[in-house]
Structure formats: C-alpha cells, structure tokens
Amino acid sequence: MINAEVKENNGKNIYISSKKKKLDIIIPSKNSIHQKIFLKNSIGSIINQKIDADIEMRVILCTDPNFNKENVPSTKKLEIKIIESNKPTQAHALNSGILKSDADYVSFLEDDDSWHPYFIEISLKNLNQLLNKNKYGITSSNQLEINFEKQIIRVNDFPTPSGWLMNSETLSHVGLFNTNYFLHLDNDWLGKAAQKNIPRFHLIEGLAPINVKYCAQVRPWLATVVKNSKKTCSLKRHKYLTPLVNRLVHSESGMASIAKDKSKKDLSLKEINLLETSYGLIPW
C-alpha cells in the first residue's frame, strides 16, 4: 500500500492511508502595469490560508505570452506552476490551467482578488458536506468589493469564480469553460452545472439574511443566486462578518471595461441574450 502508515491494534497491523489530498488553485493573469501587485496580494492570501485539513496546495498560474516571471512573488511555501495560455482570453487561460490540473480539488482565483484566511477551510468543510451525500458538489462565495486604498465599496453577492471550490470529478463532469464567451463565461459554466443538477452551497457572511423571502426584500442578488441556479444552490452562512473573497475594483477590471467601452457593452448584451436563449435565464 502506497503512502500509508501502520498502527498496531490488539496485535494486528492496521493500515491507515496518509496520502495528502491535493488542491490546485488556477489563477488567470494578464500582463498589466499592476500585475506584480495583484499577484503579490492574491498569492499571498493563498500562503496565509489557515487549514486544519492535511492538504497540499499548488498554484497554476496561466499567463499571456511574454509574461515577466519577476512579477511572481518569491516563496518556498507554495509550488507555483507557470503555463502560457494558447489564446489571450480568460476562458482559454482557465482551460489551460484545468488541463494541467491533476488534484483532488480545484479552485479559481482572479489575480486581482484575494481570500480571507479561512476561505479554503470553510469551503472545504462545506464542500465535503455535499460530497458525503453526492458524487458532485460546488461551493461558491460572495465578495467584499474594495479599492486600492482598501476602502470598502460594497458587498457583491454574485458567485464569482474566485469563490468557487469543487472536487475534480465535478469539474470533469461539467467540463471546460466555453471559449465562445469572452465576458460571461462564468454564468455559462454555472448554467451547465445547474443543468446537471450539481448541488452548490453559496457561502455568505454571518449576519446576511438566509431566508429567500427576506433576501428578496433587502439583498435581492442573494435571492437571484438561488432562483437563477434553478434551485440547485442553497445559501449557507459562515461565522465571519465579511465575505470570504476580496474583490479589487479598479479601472482595468472586466466590469469597468464594460462600463466605459461601448464595444464591450454591446458584446456583454449579446452574450446575455445568448445565455437567456440557452438556459431560459441568466445563470447565477
């Protein structure tokens, strides 16, 4: 038996598997003037995770051509595998990382986002609750939007990929990101997961409303998460008073580009129409 320890019990040897579970964290990162700062914060938040479980983490960093490796923070605490995406889109970058992953669990983190120190611990515990009853499962999280000065802007209840964690079987079952989407690939992927009836917990802060009736009154996006997942998703509180994902709001972000660029705004509307045609709604 590989990777096992032997313990004696009443004169008999009992073999207990000691193989570590593996988690791959896929980070898509495009060349930008802030890339070094982004990666310092995002990878730093991975290094600072506080995890009870015996799990081995690895970062798969998916980059543009001519990526400057000096932008990656130096660390001996975490393996960082750098791969070049075959095309400069987010879907291609994410897919490049997925195809290189061989871990038990997979998570995603945008290079300009970061995690609460207990993100993985809380996500894993909730994911394993789902997996105890199902072969497949996903956890997602809402986000705390902040600016460069670390001022809080708002809580955003959308299930951004930076808050997703799943087992590898789930990822294989749902499949790769659709490269026909440039902006709303995350909605499309959640739509495919809902079509396959994969259960999901959406993790929210400890004082957030959890009853959908009250969510509709004061936090309508939380109600939309449940409704637009075709009821495959349930809200689940954790004990902390802020979301488990910090999302940096800045002028280079995808949402900012949609707001200021008419061509991207038109593309966004086109993709939203495609989502509604494909799924009957915009998956959340």
Q: What is the pLDDT of residues 224-269, one digit of tens each?
A: 999 999 999 999 999 999 999 999 998 777 676 676 788 999 999 9
Judge: domain 20-279, CATH 3.90.550.10: yes
CA distance readout (Å), 126 to 79, 196, 247: 25, 20, 22
Q: So what's the pLDDT on residue 74?
A: 93
Please check whether residue 140 is in contact with residue 123, taking contact to mean a CB–CB distance below 8 angstroms. Answer: no
Q: What is the pLDDT of residues 127-142, one digit of tens each?
A: 999 999 999 999 999 9
- pTM of the model as a whole: 0.92
Structure tokens at 52: 């009870």
pLDDT of residue 15 exceeding 50, the answer is no
Sign of CA dihedral 284, 40, 251, 92: negative
Q: So what's the pLDDT on residue 6?
A: 47
Please check whether residue 39 is in contact with residue 28, taking contact to mean a CB–CB distance below 8 angstroms. Answer: no
Q: What is the pLDDT of residues 30-49, one digit of tens each?
A: 999 999 999 999 999 999 99
Which residues sit opposite 67 in a β-bridge? Answer: none
Please check whether residue 22 is in contact with residue 81, taking contact to mean a CB–CB distance below 8 angstroms. Answer: no
Hey, what amino acid is at 226?
V
The average pLDDT across 193-219 equals 98
The model's confidence at residue 12, banded by pLDDT at 50, 70 and 90, is: low
Tell which residue, 253, 262, 255, has the closest CA to residue 30.
253
**What residues contact 246, with CB distance under 8 A and at least 6 apart?**
45, 113, 114, 115, 116, 143, 144, 146
Q: What is the pLDDT of residues 68-121, one digit of tens each?
A: 999 999 999 999 999 999 888 999 999 999 999 999 999 999 999 999 999 999
**What residues contact 122, with CB distance under 8 A and at least 6 apart?**
203, 238, 244
Please check whether residue 129 is in contact with residue 136, taking contact to mean a CB–CB distance below 8 angstroms. Answer: no
**Vertex 234, ends 192 and 125: CA angle to 5°?**
95
Domain boundaries in the chain?
20-279
Q: So what's the pLDDT on residue 88?
A: 86
The average pLDDT across 203-212 equals 97
Q: So what's the pLDDT on residue 18?
A: 55
pLDDT of residue 7 exceeding 60, the answer is no
Q: What is the pLDDT of residues 140-162, one digit of tens each?
A: 999 999 999 999 999 999 999 99
Q: So what's the pLDDT on residue 1?
A: 31
